[in-house]
Structure 1
Amino acid sequence: MTTATHWAALAVTAFGLVSAAVVLVAARRLMPALAVLLDFLIAAGLLRLAGDPAWDTVAAAAAVVAVRKLVTAGLRLSPPR
């Protein structure tokens, strides 16, 4: 992985943590904040894939996408407040 993609993935992860915290404070609900965090983690995983397309990196990105799909399904099925 090049230094640029490494730092870009790290920056996206940090922005995701900050964005998820803002959503958690604003919405006072965990699921939307988790969805935002997982979107940023998917972006960071794709950046890591651009630098190092190893099988463990592909598996990690696929796991994050699968968790994101489960969270999205949970958001759709949760009753409105």
Structure 2
Amino acid sequence: MTAGCTHLDQIHPVTPTANGCEECLRTGGRWVHLRMCLTCGHVGCCDSSQGKHATGHFHETGHPIVQSAEPGESWRWCYVDKTLV
């Protein structure tokens, strides 16, 4: 399901940068679900989490596509085009 996403060229082979939300791990925060940036590997928490660090990472860097970092999930989301990838 890639119709509508114009940022597929920004997906790179990445390795998760942490075993949890990077910011929450630093501050002692808690997360609900994890998302991994497919441009740099940053791991952040979802928008259901208090910190919303995955979306914050997008706003800070412009990296457009994240993938669920939850076991058994492989969906991807483009923040810019607001679509599943």
Q: Give 1 or 2: higher helix fraction.
A: 1
Q: Give 1 or 2: higher strand fraction.
A: 2
* TM-score, scaled relative to structure 2: 0.28
* TM-score, scaled relative to structure 1: 0.28
* Greater Rg over alpha carbons, structure: 1
Higher relative contact order (CA 8 A, sep 6+): 1
